[in-house]
A and B are shown apart, each in its own frame.
Chain A
Amino acid sequence: MTLKLPIYLDNSATTRVDPRVLDKMLPFLTENFGNPSSRSHSFGWVSEEAVENARIQVANTVGCDSKEIIWTSGATEATNLALKGAANFYQDKGKHIITLKTEHKATLDSIRELERQGFDATYLTPNSEGILDINALLAAIRPDTILISILFVNNEIGVIQDIATIGNICREKGIIFHVDAVQAVGKIKFNLSELNVDLMSFSAHKVYGPKGIGALYVRRKPRIRLIPQIHGGGHERGFRSGTLPTHQIVGMGEAFRIASLEMDDEIPRIKKLRDKLLNGLSQIEEIYINGSMEKRIPHNLNVSFNYVEGESLMMAIKDIAVSSGSACTSASLEPSYVLKALGRNDELAHSSIRFTIGRFNTEEEIEYAITLLQNKVANLRDLSPLWEMFKEGIDIEHYQWQEHGPRDIILHQ
């Protein structure tokens, strides 16, 4: 089998639409194009039936009632609706919100907006493995805490939080609990009927479905109320107005159905690939794994390559498509805030690579990635004065670097 380059190892960014999903979607763009809200003809009825069928597929995958699923344009909108909708509705009870520093930006920026509206937020720091300490959460809860939002699986480092325990605490204290489960679906088993979670955000395109569709789970027993954030025709029982994109919804339903159906086979296969990648990369000196390896989905490996600069590393490995914690991928000069929250220094945060393995990756691709990384890291280290210093036994951490205005600096050693 010949390899097709570049190799896609960025499945936490997005995934290829599964061909089986696409097959289900296409008829809803052509012959069954009706508006699911049209009650007066069969075009509408067929679309509505497809939407409701997909709602059941999603609900079955996550273990809830289909009436508890609200379609949104994606997980970012679902999270905005959950956090702003709940905070606005329950603000008379209190104005304090708790979250993690390593949350997705959709959560962090929604809460920042709520802070601008007068809410008070606590951003908890996870431990060096990326895991939230339950005692730290308990200590942060106040009488006026109304909402807690925690990421089920972290998008950068793949670590899994103890949602069951946090849910029990929230229920006991009467606090609304939102969970961003975008990276959890199809990757770890969970069942909403067994979890005290009130609101949960989902996305289709991380699970081999199409982009532009997501969902919010809104618990009915006990009932969670939300202030809608998008107004209009009163779709989705008033929670979220806007014509439903039938083909996208059908795609999400089918993607979730396949995920739950094939999880038991897919997870061990992906874990085998990840372990192979880990073993291969472990032969490189001075690498650091970011985040807990025990409490982690098998799809994710996040590694820092010491004494190699992130952007040049990305340039060197352009035959594989991965993400980096380096600032080079964004306009800012700040490296990954997730790795910084774990206590990683700037250099290690900059030189981090996130590999995320998916349904369509093969063993050959992983082997190619290992060889590529081994060679390119060696090349860049040959070029690195820091590697030379490390090999000479110089303490780089305490070396007197001339960070500013180095115009008249002379090196004396």
Chain B
Amino acid sequence: MSYSNKVIDHYEKPRNVGALDKSDPQVGTGMVGAPACGDVMKLQIKVGLDGKIEDAKFKTYGCGSAIASSSLVTEWLKGRTLDEAATIKNSEIAEELELPPVKIHCSVLAEDAIKAAIADYKNKH
């Protein structure tokens, strides 16, 4: 399996790895995937008083493309409003990381993780 340089870069230097306090009302947590499927993504967003995402953290169990997809979206999420964040499409992620067809599901999972994190945040408010 050959990976694009962008995947390797995110894999070797993942951005925004870590965890936020999931009980914090400002924090939305999304966890998608399943160990048996080979991918689990946990994505957390912290929404500021201005309604913009001020921080994003992730942890991912999965292949290099899954790690890269989640790392990339944490970069993209910062500074966006929830509505803006919700517009991120898996196709944009796949395009940016030049994912091969067998790895498209990683970008789908990343999009799902964003939506789950937003839904969790909204559920708290």
Closest B residue to A308 by beta carbon equals B61
Contact string, B87-125, partner A, CB cutoff 8 A, digits 1/0?
A: 000000000000000000000010010011001100100
Q: For chain A residues 309-357, which have a beta carbon within 8 Å of chain B?
A: 309-312, 315, 327-328, 333, 345-347, 350
B32 touches A409 (CB 8 A): yes
Chain B interface category by residue count: 35 or more
Q: Kindly state the separation between the CA atoms of A309 and B116 in the bound complex, as whole angstroms.
A: 22
Q: Kindly state the separation between the CA atoms of A347 and B120 in the bound complex, as whole angstroms.
A: 27
Q: Kindly state the separation between the CA atoms of A383 and B11 in the bound complex, as whole angstroms.
A: 10
Q: In angstroms, how far is the closest chain B Cβ from the Cβ of A395?
A: 12
Contact string, A278-321, partner B, CB cutoff 8 A, digits 1/0?
A: 00000000000000000000000000000111111001000000
Closest A residue to B119 by beta carbon equals A410
Closest A residue to B60 by beta carbon equals A383
**Segment touching B, from A45-53, A225-233, A398-406:** A398-406
B37 touches A403 (CB 8 A): yes
- Of B29, B36, B116, B123, which contacts A403 at CB under 8 A? B36
Q: Kindly state the separation between the CA atoms of A327 and B103 in the bound complex, as whole angstroms.
A: 13
A309 touches B63 (CB 8 A): yes
B120 touches A327 (CB 8 A): no
B116 touches A411 (CB 8 A): yes
B40 touches A386 (CB 8 A): yes
Q: Decide if B1 is an interface residue (CB 8 Å cutoff).
A: yes
A315 touches B64 (CB 8 A): yes
Q: Decide if B22 is an interface residue (CB 8 Å cutoff).
A: yes
Q: In angstroms, how far is the closest chain A Cβ from the Cβ of B38?
A: 6
A408 touches B36 (CB 8 A): no
Q: Decide if A109 is an interface residue (CB 8 Å cutoff).
A: no
List A contacts of B123 (CB < 8 A).
410
Contact of A309 with B31 at beta-carbon distance under 8 Å, contacts A315-B64, A410-B119 already known: no
Q: Kindly state the separation between the CA atoms of A407 and B31 in the bound complex, as whole angstroms.
A: 11
Q: Decide if A115 is an interface residue (CB 8 Å cutoff).
A: no
Contact string, B24-67, partner A, CB cutoff 8 A, digits 1/0?
A: 00000111111111111110000000000000000111111011
A307 touches B61 (CB 8 A): yes
Q: Decide if B14 is an interface residue (CB 8 Å cutoff).
A: yes
Closest A residue to B34 by beta carbon equals A401
Q: Kindly state the separation between the CA atoms of A347 and B40 in the bound complex, as whole angstroms.
A: 11
26 contacts between A and B (CB under 8 A): A308-B61, A309-B61, A309-B62, A309-B66, A310-B38, A311-B38, A311-B63, A311-B64, A312-B62, A312-B63, A312-B66, A328-B63, A346-B36, A383-B17, A383-B61, A388-B59, A396-B35, A402-B32, A403-B37, A406-B33, A407-B112, A409-B112, A410-B119, A410-B120, A410-B123, A411-B29
Residue positions of B touching A, CB distance < 8 A: 1, 3, 11, 14, 17, 19, 22, 29-42, 59-64, 66-67, 109, 112, 115-116, 119-120, 123
